[in-house]
Structure 1
Amino acid sequence: MLPKAEWLASLPQVVVVGSMLVTDDGGLVLLVQANYGTCAWQFPGGWLDLGEYPTVCAERELAEETGLDCQAAGLLAVMWHSPKESTGGRAVVQFLFDGGRVPAGSSVRLQGSELSEACWVRPAEAMALLDDKRGAWLEAALRAQQGEPVQVLAR
């Protein structure tokens, strides 16, 4: 039997991300575009701080990135990413929470150090902007909003 410290060191390391799906009264979905990495369209969100709960992270990241203050109403979908070099050999688990609805025309104040753009689009338009994995994540989230079970997607 391994000593506890060795056993703990042997466990997989996981990075956790909290993200938020926010829609407006007209059914438009909020997407943001990062100004780093692949500059892909995505949902507002980011990595958890040490000791932070995933819903708190999603709410904090939404406020930091967009200026919107929404509560995480429930879990809509989860994305699992296998360990890779870009994450230091760590796996990544992303939680997508329901941020509820905001009034149509709500303004977004972008966090310029991380984001270059934001847009409110219909779900079909969002699917065209998102990469395949985020598109599947959105589809799963929209189904969960309609009462279907929360899905865990693997990438």
Structure 2
Amino acid sequence: MSGTWLPPAQYLATLPKATVYGCLYVTDEADRPLQLRSVRNPAVWQWPGGNMDPGETPWECAVRECEEETGLHVAGEPRLLAVHFLPPLGNWSTHKVGFVFDGGRLSRELIDSIVLDPEEHTEVAVRSVEEWRTVMPAFSFRLLAVTAQARRTGVAAYLEQSGPA
């Protein structure tokens, strides 16, 4: 842009657009990540989460989506593990920015109490990080791996991805 001043509405129209999602990285007590199988694409495993609704923060979104998708309510202060950035891909015409929060470690009893929204997910699975590597595309696994490392080290991760490899 040049140094020309624009009225706010015109200036805002020149800025890149983005959707924002919030999700929860949840594990069992042995630190094995829990993921949900997508109804829309059974090859996709994902954490409880989704796109923000108007007026929500990323944390509020992650907590709401987790409750809607699993029946579990996460309380407490948000602990950010990773920020994930994706440029427009395929038919998706906006950037996508994700906030991955620590959803905690769940007991076997809590995991067994999960009630999935059948319109969104068909299965809950808990596997080690290395076991997840064998069932996920490298593109998706990369976010899982950096998030697991962020929880282990206490240092939040930032991941930019240009698309599936």
Larger radius of gyration: 2
Residues 79 and 141 of structure 1: CA distance in aligned 2, closer, same or farther (over 3 Å):
same
Give the alignment partner of residue 10 of structure 1, picking from 14, 23, 48. 14
The answer as to 2:65 corresponding to 1:61 is: yes
Aligned pair count? 154
Give the alignment partner of residue 149 of structure 1, picking from 132, 155, 160. 155
Indicate the residue corresponding to 1:79 in structure 2: 84
**Letter of the 1:124 counterpart:** E
Distance 1:95 1:128 in 2: 25
- Give the C-alpha shift of residue 73 in structure 1: 3.8
- Give the C-alpha shift of residue 93 in structure 1: 0.6
Give the match's secondary structure for 2:54: coil
With 53-62 and 65-74 compared, the bigger mean Cα shift is at: 65-74
Indicate the residue corresponding to 1:35 in structure 2: 39
Give the match's secondary structure for 1:58: helix
Residues 85 and 7 of structure 1: CA distance in aligned 2, closer, same or farther (over 3 Å):
farther
**Letter of the 1:126 counterpart:** W
Distance 2:87 2:79 in 1: 25
The answer as to 2:45 corresponding to 1:47 is: no
Distance 2:20 2:9 in 1: 22
**Letter of the 2:126 counterpart:** W
Name stretches of at least 5 consecutive residues in structure 1 with no aligned partner: none
Indicate the residue corresponding to 1:24 in structure 2: 28
**Matched residues, percent identical?**
32
- Give the C-alpha shift of residue 149 in structure 1: 2.6
Give the match's secondary structure for 2:9: helix
- Give the C-alpha shift of residue 141 in structure 1: 1.2
Q: How does the TM-score come out when normalised to structure 2?
A: 0.85
- State the Cα deviation string for residues 50-108 of structure 1 (Å, max 9, x = none): 11010111111111111112236411112111023422x21001111100111124222
Name stretches of at least 5 consecutive residues in structure 2 with no aligned partner: none
- Give the C-alpha shift of residue 26 in structure 1: 2.8
Q: Segments of 4+ in structure 1 off by > 4 A?
A: none
CA contact (8 A) 1:78 1:137 kept: no
